[in-house]
Copies of this chain bind each other. A is one copy, B any other.
Amino acid sequence: MADEDNIAIDPVTLIAQALEEEAPERLRTILSGMHPADIGAVLTSLPPDQRPVLFSLTPSDMIGEVLLELPDSIRSDLVAHLDGSELVAAAKSLDTDDIADLLPDLSDDVISQILFALNKQDRQRLDAVLSYPEDTAGGLMNVDTVTVRENISIEVVTRYLRARGALPEDTNKLFVVDRNDRLVGTLQLARLLTADSKIRVGQLMNREPIKFDAMDSDRQVAAAFERYNLITAPVVDEDNRLLGRITIDDVVDVIREEADRSVMAPAGLTEDEDIFAPVARSSRNRALWLGVNLVTAVLASMVIGLFEGAIQKIVALAVLMPIVASMGGNAGTQTVVLVVRGLALGTITSANSRRVLIRELLVSIVNSMLWALVVAVIAVAWFRDIRLGFVIAAAMVINLVSAALSGVTIPLFFRRVGIDPALASGVMLTTVTDVVGFFSFLGLAALFLI
């Protein structure tokens, strides 16, 4: 960004210094010149014990917005440091849909104080947003829509807007409704500015806008915004009555969360895992996952245990067996990653999943034969035993083909039973490739080499 910009560049260092020197006035000055989003980012990158110090120095008119920018776990820690009146003040400075996002972290007492402090219209709006789950179009929407009727002229609309005063943030279109509040179209602000003032709204509006049901999932909303390049879109109820509007900035947050989840979930982490959280909390969060992995590792060991005799006779088996398991795991992971992404983007459907399976099997046959040959050559050169080469090559082909088979079927299975394929497919796959890898290699060796 340009130099004379009003965005602080690496404010972390500046603030860390001031925190160390315990200079609250300097901190106050730095913070008051910052964007709430930047304050949120600095808080996230501080050690947990320094966060409340900095947070308490944040200008009171920014507290609400700063809270919105924080990951859930950090937000609930900091909310505990505010008293009721501060929380009410913070909430009052926010849009109703943003207040709705904060409520889960607040005590019943504070919530009723906030509701009491809102005017009737805002309270009704808050009720509207709260009546839908957080991960639906209804939970995502703003309720501050500007509506007009289709039979009025552009001139009248313009006069109305001027009389109304400031439009809600990110308003790029007006919603055209009938007398029962049913959505009949949308009208871009840009068209309003360039159109003949005698024309009526009905002649200028888009009669087939993309709109969402309040119960549509936030993933559907994000996919549609992405695909159709939307900035804002209306939300309606089952009777097509206008409830609110969704804006792209909230959708970008959904896309980001989904993206984070798809990276974090395969490692058994939640998307708001805080890398600066207390050691005890982090250890607990991660221990469970290691436990799951221990079960699969022990399973693989038990397979090896079946062939103790063979290993004792041919110790080369112990040396080479991790290669078979590891190559299967890597090839299968490639398939899993592609299938999980295809399912998320909707390019893999029930209509073409059989075709995906056949293709992945073919790719695995080609690649397993290539790498079976290479591994066999290595094994023969190392241990001077042609038969060992044949055994490891056969095991490689078996494991890579079964890796492709499970790489496609495991995510499809999880999708069907309603478990997020990104979460569990990876660990399930490596269990299969370890077990099949060890079993096929050691089993074939026991059959043919001993």
Contact = CB atoms under 8 A, between A and B. Distances in A.
Interface stretch (A23-31, A101-109, A119-127, A272-280): A272-280
A167 interface: yes
Interface string A300-336: 1100110010011001111111110111001101100
Contacts of A189: 172, 189-190, 193
B279 A297 contact: no
A180 interface: no
A450 to B, nearest CB: 14
B2 A275 contact: no
B297 A363 contact: no
A189 B153 CA distance: 19
A297 B396 CA distance: 13
Contacts of A298: 323, 378
A135 B226 CA distance: 19
A448 interface: no
A164 interface: yes
Given A41-B347, A210-B5, A359-B275, A297 B323 contact: yes
A71 to B, nearest CB: 10
A171 interface: yes
Interface stretch (A54-62, A110-118, A261-269): A261-269
A226 B371 CA distance: 44
Nearest to A165: B194
B194 A193 contact: no
A248 B283 CA distance: 39
Contacts of A275: 338-339, 342, 347-348, 356, 359
A367 interface: yes
Copies per complex of this chain:
2
A446 interface: no
Contacts of A382: 305
Interface string A186-211: 00011111111000000000001011
Interface stretch (A6-14, A75-83, A86-94, A413-421): A6-14
Contacts of A311: 311, 315, 318
A390 interface: no
A211 B213 CA distance: 36
Nearest to A339: B275
A297 B326 contact: yes
Contacts of A386: none
A4 B300 CA distance: 53
Nearest to A352: B45
B327 A294 contact: yes
Interface in A210-231: 210-213, 216, 220, 224-229, 231
A229 B249 contact: yes
A53 interface: no
A367 B164 CA distance: 60
Interface in A233-285: 236, 240, 248-249, 252-253, 255-256, 258-260, 262-264, 267-269, 273, 275-276, 279-280, 282-283
Interface of A: 1-2, 4-7, 10, 12-13, 16, 35, 37-38, 41, 44-45, 47, 69, 158, 161-162, 164-167, 170-172, 189-196, 208, 210-213, 216, 220, 224-229, 231, 236, 240, 248-249, 252-253, 255-256, 258-260, 262-264, 267-269, 273, 275-276, 279-280, 282-283, 286-287, 289-291, 293-294, 296-298, 300-301, 304-305, 308, 311-312, 315-323, 325-327, 330-331, 333-334, 337-342, 346-349, 351-352, 355-356, 359, 362-363, 366-367, 370-371, 374-375, 378, 382, 434
11 contacts: A12-B351, A161-B193, A172-B172, A231-B249, A255-B259, A263-B341, A275-B356, A294-B327, A301-B322, A305-B319, A312-B315
Q: Which 10 A-B pairs have the closest CB atoms?
A: A259-B259, A318-B318, A229-B249, A283-B366, A167-B190, A297-B326, A37-B227, A267-B337, A297-B323, A45-B347
